[in-house]
């Protein structure tokens, strides 16, 4: 028993901490294995590009100073990129930070927050931490069932989270259906469309024809919030920087609770450089397309099923209890992600790495399942 639980808010008492992918150093410590491949956190295997490295080197001289609390230069670049006003942007310490701001601004204890079964694990955490009720719509074919979600909107619903594509399923929604859903949501309910994997999903080669850029709809829906991150295709997960785009009045509220220095100075510089380096993102996306084909072809050959994904990861049905397969893979130095906590006890989510990483994973999986 935790001696402070009586004092904590009820929402916090019911929480389990977010389970991140196992760090490489931890596997080394616990299992004594070396030469480890980590395919567990949807990180970009290429890392950041050369322009980011250069920006970071230049930023070292300014580390004694506080960061620009308004992120002026990064916001200018984002404003130009998205064709939005600077006042529509809210910067986050990762986009998860912004998801939390939305709940803290709009949700009180007893209110409802709606999202889908198998959706991103931060949604229930930020909801319950606010003392709100998580309303979970059943999934259809592992993805969001927008009809089921619409049917669950009540007069207590304050926020709806939609991940497009979703993590850990990789499923995605077509622009027509998603736009119709947003249009049907009452204007006093905030709809967050989480586009953490936008760069991957919007590449035509991955097959998501009709995948939308929801930021284009901001002019039509003042209750819409679109989140993006530098953690995935831009390769900056370790620096923590993401943002939302919304109506300026909504952004104004989010910025009232945003800690002034939530994005550090190196992250601001790196994000600005990463945004400008479109070639590096193209390379990451191109690699992802090739490796998606390699991994899904190979698992199909092994007789396994997977959920078709437009992210930089794929969830594979390992044909039984995935926990033991996860553990056996760890012993071979391959870290993937168990997703039982997402209601998917038969699946493992595998991030697409470099070709040699993915081949290590496939060889280890063949051995484990043999
Ligand atoms: C990774 C991820 C995020 C963002 O993570 P940050 O590093 O906090 O920007 C948001 N949503 C989904 C669905 C993700 O998978």
Q: Give 322-336 pLDDT, tens digit per residue.
A: 999 999 999 999 999
Does residue 52 line the site of ligand 1, with CB under 6 A? Answer: no
pLDDT score, position 34: 85
Atom of ligand 1 nearest to the CA of 93: 8
pLDDT tens digit sequence for 117-149:
999 999 999 999 999 999 999 999 999 999 999
The rounded percent of the chain whose pLDDT value lies above 90 is: 88
User: pLDDT (tens digit, 9 = 90+) per residue, 255-284?
Assistant: 999 999 999 999 999 999 999 999 999 999
Q: What are the Cα distances from residue 200, in Å, to 42, 154, 271, 345?
A: 11, 34, 18, 26
CATH fold for domain 50-277: 3.40.640
Two structure tokens written together for 77: 């670049």
pLDDT at 366 over 90: yes
Q: State pTM to two decimals.
A: 0.96
End-to-end Cα, the chain, rounded Å: 42
* Angstrom distance (rounded) from CA 121 to CA 119: 6
Instruction: Please give the CATH topology (third level) of the domain spanning 10-47+279-369.
Output: 3.90.1150
Q: 199 CA distance to ligand 1 centroid (A)?
A: 13
| Residue from 228, 167, 151, 162 nearest 190 by CA | 162
What mean pLDDT comes out for the span 214-237? 98
Q: Where are the domains of the chain?
A: 10-47+279-369, 50-277
Q: Are strands 133-137 and 112-116 parallel, antiparallel or unpaired?
A: parallel
Bridge partner list, 133: 112
CA gap 306, 336 in Å, rounded:
15
The predicted model gives 225-238 an average pLDDT of: 98
Q: Which residues contact 184 (CB under 8 A, 6 or more apart)?
A: 150
247 Cα: distance to centroid of ligand 1 (angstroms): 21
């Amino acid at each position: 028993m935790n001696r402070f639980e009586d004092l904590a808010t009820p929402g916090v008492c019911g929480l389990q901490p977010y389970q991140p992918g196992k760090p490489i150093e931890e596997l080394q410590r616990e299992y004594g294995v070396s030469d480890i491949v980590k395919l567990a956190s949807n990180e970009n295997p290429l890392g950041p590009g050369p322009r980011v490295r250069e920006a970071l080197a230049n930023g070292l001289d300014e580390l004694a100073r506080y960061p620009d609390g308004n992120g002026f230069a990064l916001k200018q670049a984002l404003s130009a990129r998205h064709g939005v006003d600077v006042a529509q942007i809210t910067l986050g310490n990762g986009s998860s930070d912004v998801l939390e701001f939305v709940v803290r601004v709009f949700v009180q204890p007893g209110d409802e927050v709606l999202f889908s079964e198998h959706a991103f694990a931060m949604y229930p955490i930020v909801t319950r931490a606010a003392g709100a009720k998580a309303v979970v719509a059943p999934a259809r074919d592992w993805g969001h069932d927008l009809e089921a979600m619409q049917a669950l909107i009540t007069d207590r619903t304050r926020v709806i989270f939609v991940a497009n594509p979703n993590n850990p399923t990789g499923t995605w929604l077509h622009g027509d259906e998603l736009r119709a859903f947003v249009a049907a949501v009452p204007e006093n309910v905030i709809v967050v469309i989480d586009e953490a994997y936008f760069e991957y999903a919007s590449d035509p080669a991955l097959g998501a024809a009709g995948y939308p850029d929801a930021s284009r709809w901001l002019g039509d829906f003042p209750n819409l919030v679109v989140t993006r991150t530098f953690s995935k295709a831009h390769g900056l997960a370790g620096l923590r920087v993401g943002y939302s785009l919304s109506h300026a009045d909504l952004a104004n509220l989010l910025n009232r609770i945003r800690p002034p220095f939530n994005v550090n100075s190196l992250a601001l510089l790196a994000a600005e450089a990463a945004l400008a380096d479109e070639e590096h993102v193209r390379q990451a996306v191109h690699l992802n397309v090739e490796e998606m084909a390699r991994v899904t072809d190979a698992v199909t050959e092994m007789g396994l099923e997977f959920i078709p994904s437009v992210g930089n990861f794929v969830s594979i049905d390992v044909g039984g209890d995935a926990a033991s397969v996860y553990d056996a893979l760890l012993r071979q130095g391959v870290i993937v992600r168990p997703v039982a906590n997402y209601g998917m006890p038969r699946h493992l989510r595998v991030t697409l790495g470099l070709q040699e990483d993915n081949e290590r994973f496939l060889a280890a999986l063949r051995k484990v399942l043999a």
